[in-house]
Amino acid sequence: MFVGQSNKFEIWDEAIWYQQISDDIAALATDVENLSENLKSLTI
């Protein structure tokens, strides 16, 4: 899976990407500080 914005992209295993997103969404509901560094670094 290619994931990126603007001038950069990353290549992720699709299953791992979706698991990371699921984990981050669950963390967002309770504590923004627990978001993964990968999600924090995404920019528009």
Q: Are 20 and 1 in contact (CB under 8 A)?
A: no
Task: Determine the Cα–Cα distance for residues 43 and 9; give it in Å rounded to an integer.
Answer: 11
Q: Is 11 exposed, middle or buried (0-12, 13-18, 19+ CB in 10 A)?
A: exposed
Could you tell me which residues come within 8 angstroms of residue 12 by beta carbon, excluding any fewer than 6 positions away?
1, 3, 20
pTM: 0.54
For residue 43, what pLDDT is reported? 58
User: Confidence band (pLDDT; 50, 70, 90) for 1?
Assistant: confident
Query: 2-32, pLDDT tens digit by residue?
Result: 888 778 888 989 999 899 888 878 877 676 6
For residue 39, what pLDDT is reported? 66
